[in-house]
Amino acid sequence: MDKPKRKRLAKACDGCHKSKRRCDGTDPCSNCYFASKPCTYTDSSGRPVPPPRQPDTQQTQQYQFPQPAQSYPSPSGRKRSHSEAAPETLDPLMTRELTNLFFTHCHPAMTIIHKPTFTSSLSHNQIPPYLLHAVSAVAAPHSKQTSLKTTPQRHAGRRFADAAISLMFDSGGRLTASATVQTAQALCLLYFYEVVDQKGYMSDTTRKDKSHSGWITGERFRTLTLQLIQALNVHTPEHPLLTPTPSQSYVSESLERECVRRIFWIIYFVDCIRGVYYGWEGGGMTRSSPSGKGLSIGGGVMGFSEAELRLRLPADETSFELGVVHQSLPEYLYLPAVRTHYASEMGHLTRIATLYQKIEAAMDTLQDPQTRDILMECQKFLDEWASALPTHLHFTNQCLTVQKSMFETSSNFGAWCYACIHVLHASCALALLVATQRFAEQDHQPFEVPDFSFITDRIYAVMEMLGCRAKYSPIQGSVIWPLIKYLNLTDDQQVLDWLDAYEELTGVRLDRLIRDRWGTPDVCSTLGLVRRQGPSGSTTYSTPKPDRHTNPDIDPTLLPLTERNNSAELPIPMYASSSHPAAPQSPSHSHSNYLPSLKSSGLLEWSNTPSTSTSPLTAPLERRPFSGADTARSMPVGMPWLANESR
């Protein structure tokens, strides 16, 4: 039986009438409810009148966030009584310290909040207390205050997180905070805090333990955040600006929409990285059509649908901080990157993280016949992405110097993106090199390992750029991952220090995680590394490191930043090692600012006939002293970027 047609309302609320939107006639109507705006009904004389319809229970329920089977547990393990006092207001001194620590150290969480707006609102006491507590929870582990000392330090924000939760949820664990951007930001920050606060729930397992309270709580905040930004119309297309001078309300609205988009994309980025570490069923991307020019998102990525991933990427950091997002050029994941000076740093980070996740997912299925095609496509997209990097994001001495100076300020998220971009780029290149070797083994082809120190040098250069503050950043995980998984540098003291710092920061022991998932890496013995004895007697490998100070063949521009002269105009090589002498430069590649293509070099192409120009896989582990001439003779055909280039 057909449902009766809905009668036309005699009266829309004032907000819907003014904006010419369909109104459901309730108080509040759904449009005003989701926009967190007052909903009023007045007659032609401006006098208040009752709403034409009463909210129906079934309709109201569809706007409520789904609740878990059990309510959110309070810190004391019991439900919070309505008679209990609300959390105390933060001390002004503590507020000042923690908010500044948040915008200095808390990457990537800081990007979801517009700092100038937040600072201005804070000075006028207009920040919701639950958001202030959520910011404090994330920032507290970075404080040196004695009152915030805990063991481990990542638990220091627990009391602030509990305070935020008690303000946002009722005694039954139901979200009661208004559906606003500030609520979405607070939920997102609580998600970030919970996934690292729960002791050890991710450190000893190869998969996420979905029964652990840390997983349940963190995922609930993640789900609520995504549902709330959907309610805030994150995927609704924006209307272009039609006037040369935008109103202040338009500028404020564009900044709010940018913050909502950033919440979506930062959750997506974190999901990509977590997918690399723990795997994600169905997390790999589907193949794109041959005619596609942008990154393929057909079929979705990491559980996000293709439609969701068509959302506009975040604006560049300059436009965001200066409040001119409405003037920036829109960028999208599925379209080629724009080639302007104001290209989005977070947009490029999202692209390379998507590729990184896809490559790592493919590394788990190297026996699959389609994996080679997938990795070939990844290499193609990697080359296209690298060629589209704007000048200020190139990996050169001058860019490193500029980004390092910006990282020392509180306006440093762009510099953090720069560092993370190039770590993930190097990780992609190393994974593709390992995949190439594995495919050669499957085909019983000899494989001469090229000098891949250009990859590790980039990783170490980034860590040197970050300096002592690297230990406060989750970027350490992306640095450690390839060094442990593919190079097995488990007894290198520097790597061990990074492992300890990352465990203190996040509660995750990456070497244990890698061993539990894949066992002890065995690829090192065929990557041209030197066998050496670890402190416990175990055999590990590392790249040979000649004395860079006494070797007359070493170009000083290849030394680490702390050992170079003031030759900042010279680009850092993408392939040469700081511990190896320079090879003759190839004029045709003298301006390359990105890692060389493994596909164009022939590393991702094989023939059925074994090559006689390469050494067998049973070559000795000990490499001969490096020289440019030796490299030129030993490189596979089609690899001039390794044999003939230098900076």
Least confident of 100-109, 179-188, 274-283, 412-421: 274-283
pLDDT of residue 340: 84
**Cα gap 330→338, rounded to integer Å:** 9
Cα angle 38-40-43, degrees, rounded to a multiple of 5: 160
**Cα gap 322→242, rounded to integer Å:** 21
Q: Using an 8 Å Cβ cutoff, are 428 and 356 in contact?
A: yes
The pair phi, psi for residue 352, each rounded to 5°, is -70, -30
Higher pLDDT, 553 or 252: 252
Higher pLDDT, 56 or 229: 229
Q: What is this structure's pTM?
A: 0.72
Q: Using an 8 Å Cβ cutoff, are 247 and 99 in contact?
A: no
Taking 80 as the threshold, does the pLDDT of residue 511 lie above it? Answer: yes
pLDDT of residue 10: 67
**Cα gap 251→522, rounded to integer Å:** 55
**What's the 3-state SS for 325-365?**
HHHCCCCECCCCCCCCCCCCHHHHHHHHHHHHHHHHHHHCC
**Cα gap 565→586, rounded to integer Å:** 24
Q: Domain-by-domain residue ranges, the chain? A: 17-61, 90-232, 265-393, 395-581
DSSP code for 511? H
Rounded to an integer, the average pLDDT of 519-535 is 46
Q: For the chain, what is the mean pLDDT?
A: 74
pLDDT of residue 282: 41
Cα angle 260-265-266, degrees, rounded to a multiple of 5: 95
Q: Give the confidence band of 455 by pLDDT, cuts at 50, 70, 90.
A: confident
